Amino acid sequence: LPGIFVLLSLSDDYVRSTNEDARKGGAVALAACAIGLKKADEREWDVLECRDLILASVVHACQDHSQRVRYYATESLFNVTKVIPSLAVQHFFILFEILRSLYADVDLDVRSGAELLDKKLKEVIVVAINSGSFSADACIPVFARFVYMRHKATKQLTLTWLREFSEKLIGAPILEFLHLFLGGIFAMVADPNPTIRQLAIEFLQSVLPKLLVNNQDFEDADAQQKIDFDKILQSLVLTMEHPDPFVRKVAMYWMSRIVQAHMSQAFPSSGTKGAEGTDETMGVESIRGESGIDISFSSGGRTPR
């Protein structure tokens, strides 16, 4: 109980003070308190109360009108996430909303701090999902909604999370939700921002090989994953109406590879080349080679119309 009173004082008298230095000091002190609670027994109700209060107060500081306070609060939130990862998992959606805000902050130092926080939070969530203490089903549909937002920083952040899940989650659970946001990813291939275009290309290159290997439909009772290929193909058909010719070409390649993989499974003696025979980049590089289109955005490549 005395610990809670100390935290309440830090939260009310410092983090919510009218003095900027007091608010900065309060955010830093709360992170120090989190470090002190690192080895505390989580089954004790007062420990849980203290941890929740620390997180709520630091999150409040991350929304401060002062750029300096936001920077120190971001650093404190990184430390809280690092020393008490279970707290970050429990309140992931709150943390991701704050991360979205910090990722687009007007201050460069705050954005740099947000990138470090983003990296640590990804690490914590991937470990939690792979260990079974958190579910990909809970967060991937939320990312799917963010893919269709117009906000540049949100799209960029969401793409990095989707690629992280694609590459590091055991069993590739992202494939079960691919139909929810695939159209939005293809639209980003023609985004005016070169970073978003490159991230979208990299995600498509990362996920297609996994999709071709896991080519059992959701209606197959023996399938380990419930991948809705009907909706994926419907999304690709709609993408073929995109005004950008390069987006249409990549979508056509995706459809041809998916159909080819299913045909090779249904008729193994037909001689159709299966997923194992595809090139590593699965479409984007081969399209570039066949069409002569340069998609090396970093070297001043083609700008979609």
Confidence of residue 213 (pLDDT cuts 50, 70, 90): confident
Q: Around Cβ 99, how many Cβ atoms within 10 Å?
A: 23
- Mean pLDDT of all residues in 86-114: 96
The structure tokens listed for 169 are 């989650």
* Angle in degrees, 0-180, between the axes of helices 194-213 and 178-188, rounded to the nearest 10: 140
CA 125 → CA 89, 91, 118, 264, distances in Å? 6, 11, 11, 36
Residue with tokens 């690709």: 236
Q: What is the pLDDT of residues 62-93, one digit of tens each?
A: 999 999 999 999 999 999 999 999 999 999 99
Q: What is the pLDDT of residues 231-249, one digit of tens each?
A: 999 999 999 999 999 999 9
Distance CA 272, CA 256 (A): 12
The pLDDT tens digits for 36-66 are 888 887 777 788 899 999 999 999 999 999 9
pLDDT at 290 over 50: no
Q: Please give the model's pTM, rounded to 2 decimal places.
A: 0.84
- Local structure of residue 193 (DSSP, 8 states): S
- Average pLDDT rounded to a whole number, residues 133-159: 93
Token output for 260: 């080819």
C-alpha angle with apex 125: 122 to 126, nearest 5 degrees?
80
Beta bridge partners, 227, equal: 217
What is the rounded distance in angstroms from the CA atom of residue 266 to the CA atom of residue 53? 57
Averaged confidence pLDDT in the chain = 86
Neighbours of 55 (CB within 10 A): 22
Rounded CA gap, 39 and 43, in Å? 12
Helices marked H in 105-193 — which ranges?
108-131, 136-147, 152-168, 178-188
Q: Count Cβ atoms within 10 A of the Cβ of residue 154 and give its class: 0-12 exposed, 13-18 middle, 19 or more buried.
A: middle
Give 239's strand partners. none
Do residues 80 and 65 touch, judged by C-beta distance below 8 A?
no
